Chains A and B, each alone.
Chain A
Amino acid sequence: MTLGEEIASLRDAFEQGAGELGFADTAWLFVERVAELRGEPGVVALRDLLGQTFPTLHFVASRYLSGGRREPVDVSEVAELLRGTRRVLIVGLEAAHLDALVLALPRETRIGLLTYRLLPVDWDRVLSNHPGRVEAVDLTVFQTWAGARSAILTFTYGRRAERVYVLPAFARISGADVRTQFRDLIGWDVLGGVPAVYPRWLIELPASELTRLVEPAHMEP
């Protein structure tokens, strides 16, 4: 099997990871493992063969090839913004960020995870990583999490001018009515830039749809 065939055969694997770990988290996992086992040519193949289908992978592979490496998740600003919040409804899934947030928030803050995703997800498995701490929240009842001390937190994937890239799930729940039911609608950028290829799987929204946007220290233009 050639390197190209070997990399192309990882499509389903990436989709599996993206569903339950998140697009950015899985991209870093794949880039790091492929770099370890196949070196730079492997990462180039990953970017060129799977990057068109998974733009976050394209972004992460490109960043890796230009010397960038995965940085530890900095949860301090998000935790500060959420201080005093009783309920946080997470929209989207990024495992490393979710893990960090769960550790950073006080026990009395309830954390819900919206169980809506375009990719197949074993939600029991996802939640079993945070037993008793993260609750499944169905799309049909997410407004039971509304309140004057409630916030929605969604992961974002780069910003171009005043437009941010988010998962379609956020658009499903951020209607005009919902915006006044939650104290804050916070975006947390997990990528640090916008993928160069067509942002499949993501949708573009005005950044003003968010009340706050937390971005990494180094944002690519």
Chain B
Amino acid sequence: MPPHHPKHRRHRAEHFPSSELDRALASVVPDPSDRAFILRCVLEEGPAHHRGASFAILRALSLAIERLGAPSKDLSAIPTTPLAIRLPPHLAQTAEDNVYPIGLPMRALREALGDAELEAAAVDALCDGPAHHALANAMMLWLVEAILSRVETSDEGPAE
């Protein structure tokens, strides 16, 4: 996130404290500006009930990560499906750089669903809809991946 200069103001009311989520997201999205963009879309855009629900679930997941405590494995190796910025179809073809800085992680999904058709349908469902919805889905899945990774690490015991 760019430095908070006294002369420029961040205006959208920050109902939801986002620092924990920002921290939880850092291992997946290293650029602070990218994280700020994703968190704005999830926590500040869209209807209030969506923002509230997304925040509650994401915060609960990040709390689970904190409680697990164990170090996470490197998540960058997890295959992802890009999350496109939804543009009018005739403009999307000519637009550059039109994916969000976070994709949909596929490892947990594949394990959970175990069927290519089901997986494809799930990806469609998770990516569809307004951006705040799809981005919240992606964040939740990443936090689930982080939790699973920590669980795996603790199952394996301390590294020798």
Contact = CB atoms under 8 A, between A and B. Distances in A.
Interface stretch (B17-25, B32-40, B61-69): B32-40
Chain B interface main SS type: loop
B37 A212 contact: no
How big is chain A's contact interface, by range?
A: 35 or more
Nearest to A178: B87
How big is chain B's contact interface, by range?
A: 35 or more
Contact of B101 (A141, A148, A181, A184): A148
A180 B131 contact: yes
B91 A144 contact: yes
A94 to B, nearest CB: 17
A81 B2 contact: yes
Chain A interface main SS type: mixed
Interface in A163-187: 176-177, 179-181, 183-184
Interface string B85-126: 111100100111111110000000000000000000000000
Contacts of A147: 85, 95-98
Interface in A126-156: 141, 143-150
Contact of B8 (A81, A144, A148): A81
Interface of A: 77, 80-81, 83-84, 86-87, 141, 143-150, 162, 176-177, 179-181, 183-184, 206-217
